[in-house]
């Protein structure tokens, strides 16, 4: 099947668009890493997840536009799209992502604190009661040790 230059140009710009999407996904991943400050192993797993998602975006785009044929200009388009996103859009979108994710995180924490307030309240009251019971048991055990000889010697 012969592909015209116009179709190849369309495929190239579609892959540039795929690179832009991949750049946006990277900004989301970068925001999550910034706010959660993961340990080393979680960073490795997050990187693996990001590159898996980037590969899925690449392969779905390639399959959609030209039936899975990978050509040099397709890889160049993805690279160029990612580079354009990082250089032009990321300086503006990344701070917006950070603010949106922080607001979302704070809202979720607030809602969860409202939901779990009754549980925490009853837990604190229950812990207070359990501490009193524990003190009483400790006192009883000490008293029992004092009078152990007397109790055990009587028949």
CB-CB neighbours of 79 under 10 Å: 14
Residue 106, domain member (yes or no): yes
Burial label for 78, CB within 10 Å (0-12, 13-18, 19+), is buried
Provide the residue count of the chain: 155
User: For 85-125, what is each residue's pLDDT tens digit?
Assistant: 999 999 999 999 999 999 999 999 999 888 888 877 777 77
What confidence score (pLDDT) does residue 126 get?
77
Per the domain annotation, does 153 fall within a domain?
Answer: no
pLDDT band at 6 (very low <50, low <70, confident <90, very high): confident
The pLDDT tens digits of the residues spanning 61-90 come to 889 888 878 888 888 999 999 999 999 999
Burial category of 53 from C-beta neighbours within 10 Å (exposed 0-12, middle 13-18, buried 19 and up): middle
Residue 92 · residue 27 · CB < 8 Å: no
How buried is 118 (Cβ within 10 angstroms: 0-12 exposed, 13-18 middle, 19+ buried)? exposed
Total domains, the chain: 1
Q: What is the H or E stretch that residue 128 is in?
A: helix 90-146
- Under the banding of pLDDT at 50, 70 and 90, the label for residue 7 is confident
Looking at residue 153, its pLDDT comes to: 67
Using DSSP, state whether 1 is helix, strand or coil: coil
**10 is a domain residue:** yes
Residue 138 belongs to some domain of the structure:
no
In a domain? residue 145: no
| Residue 67 belongs to a domain | yes
| 25 falls within a domain | yes
Between CA 115 and CA 69 the distance in angstroms is 52
Q: In which domain, by residue range, is 12 found?
A: 5-124
d(CA 23, CA 56) in angstroms, rounded, equals: 14
The tens digit of pLDDT for each residue in 21-75 reads: 999 999 999 999 998 888 999 999 999 999 999 999 989 988 988 887 888 888 8
pLDDT band at 151 (very low <50, low <70, confident <90, very high): low
The model's pLDDT over 136-149, given as tens digits with 9 standing for 90+, comes to 888 878 777 777 76
Distance CA 22, CA 84 (A): 11
């Amino acid at each position: 099947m012969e592909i015209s230059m116009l179709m190849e140009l369309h495929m190239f710009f579609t892959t540039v668009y795929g690179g832009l999407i991949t750049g946006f996904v990277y900004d989301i991943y970068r925001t999550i890493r910034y706010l959660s400050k993961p340990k080393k192993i979680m960073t490795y797993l997050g990187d693996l997840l990001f590159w898996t998602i980037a590969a899925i975006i690449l392969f779905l785009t390639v399959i959609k536009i030209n039936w899975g044929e990978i050509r040099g200009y397709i890889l160049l388009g993805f690279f160029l799209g990612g580079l354009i996103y990082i250089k032009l859009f990321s300086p503006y979108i990344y701070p917006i992502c950070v603010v949106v994710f922080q607001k979302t995180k704070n809202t979720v924490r607030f809602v969860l604190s409202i939901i779990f307030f009754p549980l925490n309240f009853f837990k604190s009251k229950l812990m207070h009661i359990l501490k009193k019971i524990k003190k009483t048991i400790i006192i009883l055990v000490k008293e029992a040790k004092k009078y152990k000889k007397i109790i055990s010697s009587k028949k």
